[in-house]
Amino acid sequence: MTARKPGAPMPAQLRALIHSSVAHPARTVPCPHCHASAGRPCTLRTTGQHLPEPHPQRVSNWAQAAAVCPECQVEPKTPCHDAGRPLRYVHDRRTTEAKETAA
C-alpha cells in the first residue's frame, strides 16, 4: 500500500528511490564490517555483490561521527553508552538525528 496519488509519475519516484540508496550518507565513512572504503558501497563478503544499504555497523559509525546523541547526550565522535558502558551500536535516535542532519 502506498499513499501515491493516481497519475503520479512513477519513474521519478523510482529514480528518487534509487538515488537515495546510492547516496546513502553513511558511505562517507569506511565500513568496518566488509572493509569498503569511504565512498564505496558495502559488499557481501562471500560473493562480492554490492549491497543497496550499508552494514548496520557502518551506519552506526557514521551516526556516531556526525551527530550528538539525543538519548545519552554524547558529543559527535564519542560512542553511545548505557550507564557508562560503551555500546557497539549507537542509539536509534542518534541515527535518525544524523539522517535528518544529512538530508
CB of 23 to Zn ion, least distance (A): 16
Which residue lies nearer to Zn ion by CB, 16 or 69?
69
Query: Looking at beta carbons, which pairs linking 93-96 to residues 24 or more positions away fall under 8 Å?
Result: 93/69, 94/63, 94/64, 94/67, 94/68, 94/69, 94/70, 95/59, 95/60, 95/63
Which residue lies nearer to Zn ion by CB, 18 or 53?
53
Which residue lies nearer to Zn ion by CB, 19 or 88?
88
Residues in contact with Zn ion by the rule CB under 5 A = 31, 33-34, 36, 42, 55, 69, 71-72, 80, 91
